[in-house]
């Protein structure tokens, strides 16, 4: 029987390998399960088995008590000075070419935490609120307990249930929607799931106080997260009792199944967790999903009390298409109507440019009708997948809300943009970029600085990057991961190239990321590219479609007049700035040509930090 379950598990794993890999990797990373994968993130460091241990960790074995005492004794200014000096030492001792810690958001956070800035801020805030050392420490303990309980129950323990739900759906259906990550919210049972998992953990803890009870109950309660994955509305004690009844006579069987993976666990250790991440962890998840399905089937055949609550039948077999069409009549009619009114894709040069670059050269009724029809198809895609039996039919599930189809044309990411819309999006994003950098400088230094090479309120690098992402990467809009990766590449090339041109032409730097985490020649860095990548996704899937919809509501003649005025002002600014670039404190720095000459002259002196790939990151 075990061999058959493993065979099925491998077959299902082939169909959903990437999905199961990702959810297991996240579980390992967050310390939920699969802890033997040694490159997981050790969240166990914040786990405590009792309030006493939590008190000891916060008060006795940390610097928090000392910090509170010093602030209470009027030494707050001295503590601030020491923290500032520690930060400066961290920056001075920054000898890493790639993992710079002298600039940037990431570096600032790391330095502040290492120097004790976070601890000081919390201690000072609590003391100012309470005025008492004892109360401050008590508040710290209570706050830590609350945060820990929330992360443990509402995130980690609930995620165990979500994982099993996704694995169970993957057994039967070709696709598992990403919305299933919000299964506790979809079923409106998040608090109930967290409570049930807490009760189970409490019972298991109490049983560990006996000689062998903890081991036995581990297998008795093994089905609790699977039962919740099928029916999250059952009361906590009923779930635990049902798991115990279903596992009666099967605990030794499950123990032997665990032992059959012992070889994989050993290999996981010798491969530094890689074999677990890429195979054995997903394999185990798929196997235990098959095991639960079998135990459920056997238990229902035996009419075990409580199995009548396991009523999600279409979680284990696809629904007949006749039933699907009956349950989704409105969806059927809309799909049929859309197919009858299908619009052919535009041809010719305009059709080619719209298809590959998402640009509408001239107003075209054919292209507009095609885009409208495609928007409807995009919205109906999920509904068609339901009718085809490709994804789990939520309306047939006993605990999901009814599927409601509401046609929306507004946020279609694969749309084409008119030239007028692209021009206005360019100026809008250039202005947003200018506001972003000016605001950062205002917050950090307390002064207003007109950022950028140009004198007007725009940073064209943001506008150019936005247009390149929309135009060059049009064919990848239906693949968010690829879109994100290529956005990082495109924005990195644009920013690096722009920095190099400006430094070569004017001998000055308008941005310098030396000391930022993972920077390249001070022209680009990890923080900046990460922000650009996420910003690119926001532009493609949210901002640009939203702006395009708003622009379409504006009078076309007025919009054209505004575009002409903006282009004229921008062109004048460009011409003027060629000879008179915007420079000054907080805008540009140094003469890079002289710096380059000095570096060239000092080549005989070995200095690892003067290498070509001295990388930094721009925010």
Q: Which domain holds residue 252?
A: 2-45+151-315
- Is residue 481 situated within a structural domain? yes
Report yes or no on 233 lying in a domain. Answer: yes
Contact, 176 vs 166, CB < 8 A? yes
C-alpha angle 60-62-68 in degrees, rounded to nearest 5? 85
Q: What is the pLDDT of residues 213-228, one digit of tens each?
A: 888 999 999 999 999 9
- What three-state secondary structure class fits 300? helix
pLDDT per residue as tens digits for the range 361-373: 887 788 888 887 7
pLDDT of amino acid 246: 95
Residue 487: is it exposed, middle or buried by C-beta count within 10 angstroms (0-12/13-18/19+)?
buried
Q: What is the pLDDT of residues 469-491, one digit of tens each?
A: 999 999 999 888 899 999 999 99
Percentage of the chain with pLDDT > 90? 37
d(CA 225, CA 161): 5
Q: What is the mean pLDDT of residues 569-585?
A: 88
Tokens matching residue 540: 């493609």
Same domain, 449 and 518: yes
d(CA 544, CA 479): 17
pLDDT of residue 7: 92
Q: Please indicate whether residue 423 or residue 398 has the higher confidence score (pLDDT).
A: 423
User: What's the rounded Cα separation, in Å, for the pair 117 and 319?
Assistant: 58
Token pair of 488 as six digits? 């990082």
Looking at the domain assignment, is residue 574 inside a domain? yes
Residue at 146 is within a domain: no
d(CA 458, CA 435): 8
Residues with Cβ within 8 Å of 529's Cβ and at least 6 positions away in sequence, in order, are 488, 491, 492, 617, 618
Q: Helices 281-301 and 17-29: crossing angle, nearest 10°? A: 100
Q: The tokens of 441 are what? A: 């400088």
**Burial environment of residue 507 by CB neighbours within 10 A (0 to 12, 13 to 18, 19 or more):** middle
Residue with the bigger pLDDT between 509 and 142: it is 509
- 306: its two tokens: 């409580």
Residue 214: Cβ within 10 Å count: 14
* Stronger pLDDT, 260 or 121, i.e. the higher one: 260
Q: What is the mean pLDDT of the chain?
A: 79
Beta-carbon count within 10 A of 232 CB = 22
Beta bridge partners of 7: none
**SS3 annotation, 208-225:** HCCCCHHHHHHHHCCCHH
My answer on whether 164 and 199 are in the same domain is yes
Q: Is the pLDDT of residue 613 over 50?
A: no
Give yes or no: residues 352 and 270 share one domain: no
Are the CB atoms for 222 and 247 separated by under 8 Å? Answer: yes
Q: Residue 107 domain-assigned?
A: no
Q: What is the pLDDT of residue 294?
A: 95
541 and 451 housed in the same domain: yes
Residue 66 vs residue 19, higher pLDDT: 19
Cross-strand bridge partners of residue 348: none
> SS in 3 state form for 387-456?
HCCCCCCHHHCCCCCCCCCCCCCCCCCCCCEEHHHHHHHHHHHHHHHHHHHHHHHHHHHCCCCCCCCCCC
Q: What's the pLDDT at 512?
A: 83
Domain membership of residue 375 (yes or no) is yes
Contact call for residues 394 and 401 (beta carbons, < 8 A): yes
**Nearest to 414, CA basis, from 382, 366, 370:** 370
Name which of 495, 519, 463, 506 is nearest 593 in CA terms. Answer: 506
Q: What's CA 572's distance to the chain center, in Å?
A: 42
Domain co-membership, 351 together with 233: no
Look at residue 273 and tell me if it is in a domain. Answer: yes
Q: Are residues 301 and 335 in the same domain?
A: no
Q: Domain boundary at 281, 300, 315, which?
A: 315
Which residue, chain included where needed, has tokens 């980690």?
Answer: 156
**What is the count of structural domains for the chain?**
3
Same domain, yes or no: 238 and 338: no
| End residue of a domain, out of 289, 315, 341 | 315
Of 547 and 125, the structure prediction assigns the larger pLDDT to 547
What pLDDT is attached to residue 39?
40
- Say which range, 110-119, 335-344, 431-440, 555-564, has the weakest mean pLDDT: 110-119
Of these ranges, 195-199, 205-209, 388-392, 590-594, the one predicted with the greatest mean pLDDT is: 195-199
pTM for the full predicted model: 0.60
3-state DSSP assignment of residue 473: coil
Q: If pLDDT is split at 50, 70 and 90, which confidence band does 191 have?
A: very high
Mark whether 160 and 243 lie in a shared domain. Answer: yes
Residue 509 backbone phi and psi in degrees, to 5: -115, 125
Do 100 and 111 form a contact (C-beta atoms < 8 A)?
no
Give percent above pLDDT 70 in the chain.
74
565 found inside a domain: yes
**Shared-domain flag, residues 425 and 307:** no
Do 296 and 343 share a structural domain?
Answer: no
Q: Which residue has the higher pLDDT, 71 or 584?
A: 584
The confidence band for 263, taking pLDDT boundaries of 50, 70 and 90, is very high
On whether both 495 and 509 belong to a single domain, the answer is: yes
Domain termination residue (choose one: 299, 315, 331):
315
pLDDT at 423 over 50: yes
The β-bridge partners of 509 are 589
The C-alpha torsion from 298 through 304 and 308 to 310, rounded to 10°, is: -50
Q: Which residues, including other chains, have CB under 8 Å from residue 538's CB and lie 6 or more apart? A: none
3-state secondary structure of 589: strand
Specify whether the CB–CB gap between 584 and 506 falls below 8 A: no
Same domain, 441 and 539: yes
Residue with tokens 């090339």: 493
Average pLDDT estimate for 427-437: 91
Kindly report, residue by residue over 117-166, the tens digit of the pLDDT. 555 666 656 666 666 666 666 676 676 678 778 888 898 899 999 999 99
Helix (H) or strand (E) holding 417: strand 417-418
CB atoms within 10 A of CB 103: 24
Q: What is the pLDDT of residue 364?
A: 79
| pLDDT tens sequence across 22-75 | 888 888 877 788 765 434 333 333 343 444 444 454 444 455 566 666 666 667
Distances (CA, A) of 299 to 100, 292, 309, 383, 513: 59, 10, 12, 34, 63
Q: In the prediction, which pLDDT does 103 show?
A: 55
Rounded average pLDDT over 266-270: 89
N- to C-terminal Cα separation, the chain: 56
> What is d(CA 149, CA 373) in angstroms, rounded to the nearest whole number?
49
Q: Give the confidence band of 600 by pLDDT, cuts at 50, 70, 90.
A: very low
Out of 116-130, 248-262, 290-304, least confident range? 116-130
């Amino acid at each position: 029987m075990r061999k058959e379950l493993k065979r099925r598990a491998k077959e299902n794993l082939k169909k959903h390998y990437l999905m199961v890999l990702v959810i297991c990797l996240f579980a390992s990373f967050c310390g939920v399960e699969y802890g033997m994968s040694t490159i997981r993130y050790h969240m166990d460091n914040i786990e405590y088995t009792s309030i006493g241990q939590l008190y000891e960790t916060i008060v006795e074995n940390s610097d928090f008590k000392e910090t509170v005492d010093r602030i209470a004794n009027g030494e707050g200014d001295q503590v601030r000075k020491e923290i500032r000096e520690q930060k400066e030492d961290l920056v001075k001792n920054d000898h890493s070419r790639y993992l710079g810690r002298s600039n940037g958001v990431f570096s600032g956070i790391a330095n502040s935490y290492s120097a004790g800035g976070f601890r000081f801020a919390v201690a000072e805030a609590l003391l100012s609120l309470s005025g008492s050392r004892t109360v401050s420490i008590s508040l710290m303990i209570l706050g830590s307990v609350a945060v820990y309980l929330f992360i443990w129950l509402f995130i980690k323990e609930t995620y165990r249930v979500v994982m099993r739900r996704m694995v169970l759906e993957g057994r039967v259906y070709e696709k598992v929607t990403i919305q299933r990550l919000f299964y506790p919210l979809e079923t409106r049972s998040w608090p109930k799931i967290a409570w049930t998992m807490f009760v189970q953990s409490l019972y298991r803890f109490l049983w560990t106080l006996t000689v062998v009870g903890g081991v036995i109950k581990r297998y008795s309660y093994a089905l609790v997260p699977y039962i919740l994955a099928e029916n999250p509305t059952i009361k906590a004690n009923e779930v635990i009792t049902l798991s115990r009844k279903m596992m009666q006579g099967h605990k030794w069987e499950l123990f032997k199944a665990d032992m059959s993976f012992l070889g994989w666990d050993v290999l996981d250790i010798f491969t530094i967790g890689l074999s677990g991440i890429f195979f054995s962890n997903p394999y185990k998840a798929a196997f235990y999903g098959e095991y639960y399905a079998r135990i459920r089937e056997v238990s229902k055949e035996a009419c075990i009390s409580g199995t009548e609550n396991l009523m999600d039948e279409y979680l284990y077999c696809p629904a007949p298409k006749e039933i699907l069409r009956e349950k989704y009549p409105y969806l059927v009619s809309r799909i049929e109507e859309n197919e009858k009114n299908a619009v052919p894709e535009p041809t010719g040069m305009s059709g080619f440019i719209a298809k590959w670059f998402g640009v509408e050269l001239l107003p075209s009724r054919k292209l507009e009708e095609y885009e409208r029809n495609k928007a409807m198809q995009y919205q109906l895609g999920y509904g068609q997948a339901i009718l085809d039996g490709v994804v789990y039919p939520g309306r047939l599930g006993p605990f999901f809300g009814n599927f409601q189809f509401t046609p929306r044309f507004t946020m279609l990411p694969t749309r084409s943009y008119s030239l007028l819309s692209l021009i206005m999006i360019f100026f809008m994003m250039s202005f947003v970029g200018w506001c972003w950098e000016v605001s950062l400088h205002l917050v950090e230094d307390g002064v207003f600085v007109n950022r950028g090479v140009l004198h007007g309120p725009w940073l064209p690098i943001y506008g150019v990057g936005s247009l390149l992402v929309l135009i060059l990467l049009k064919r990848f809009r239906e693949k968010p991961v690829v879109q994100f990766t290529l956005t990082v590449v495109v924005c990195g090339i644009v920013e690096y190239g722009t920095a190099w041109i400006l430094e070569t032409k004017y001998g000055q730097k308008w941005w310098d990321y030396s000391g930022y985490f993972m920077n390249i020649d001070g022209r680009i860095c990890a923080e900046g590219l990460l922000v650009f990548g996420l910003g690119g996704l926001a532009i493609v899937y949210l901002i640009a479609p939203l702006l395009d919809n708003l622009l379409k509501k504006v009078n076309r003649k007025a919009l054209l007049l505004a575009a002409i005025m903006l282009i004229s002002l921008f062109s004048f600014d460009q011409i003027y700035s060629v000879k008179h670039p915007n420079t000054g404190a907080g805008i540009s720095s140094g003469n890079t040509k002289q710096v380059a000459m000095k570096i060239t002259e000092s080549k005989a002196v070995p200095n690892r930090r003067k290498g070509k790939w001295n990388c930094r990151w721009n925010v």
